[in-house]
Amino acid sequence: MLMKEQNIFTLIHAMDQVTNNLLIRWNKMFNENLGISHILILSYLNSYGKYRPSDLARLLGLTPPTLTHLSGKLVKKGLIVRVADEEDRRIVYLQITDAGDEMLNKAQEEGRKLRRKLFENLTEEERESLLSVYGKLNKVMSEE
């Protein structure tokens, strides 16, 4: 039992290291003065359309003040806009702009380049094993 727990701890630590190193390298490559949280907001708005800030914060696991700070920077850069509801002007939505779409595409392309470079260091057999593991983990997470 102790060995099993130690292996799980080691696995968690290794996974965290890979994730952290990917984020650090991506931040160095992507010279737009935006972090991964900004890109997550752009990605969500791109995929699902306009959203109320409070709902978006909840969906992304952010506090409303954090989302306000992040979205403020995106508005200043012209990557999203605040849009008032046509029927109730008190309700405000965040919506991605064309410039935001372009920025998101650039960020995603940098991420793809980084991951491609990383995965090129694995053998075909290692890539297939990793695909299998990721598939299983994604299945478990989608069931929760």
- What is the pLDDT, as a whole number, of residue 4? 78
Number of domains making up the chain? 1
CATH number at residue 121: 1.10.10.10
For residue 1, being part of any structural domain is answered with: no
For residue 133, being part of any structural domain is answered with: yes
For residue 113, being part of any structural domain is answered with: yes
- What is the pLDDT, as a whole number, of residue 49? 94
- C-alpha separations of 68 from 57, 64, 135 in Å: 9, 6, 34
Spell out the per-residue pLDDT of the chain, length 144, in tens.
566 787 888 989 999 999 999 989 998 888 899 999 999 999 999 999 999 999 999 999 999 999 999 999 999 999 999 999 999 989 999 999 999 999 999 999 999 999 999 999 999 999 999 999 999 999 998 887
For residue 56, being part of any structural domain is answered with: yes
Helical H segments across 30-123, by residue range = 36-48, 53-60, 64-76, 98-119
For residue 11, being part of any structural domain is answered with: no
How is residue 122 annotated by DSSP? S
For residue 111, being part of any structural domain is answered with: yes
Domain hosting residue 50, numbered range:
34-143
pTM equals: 0.81
- What is the pLDDT, as a whole number, of residue 3? 64
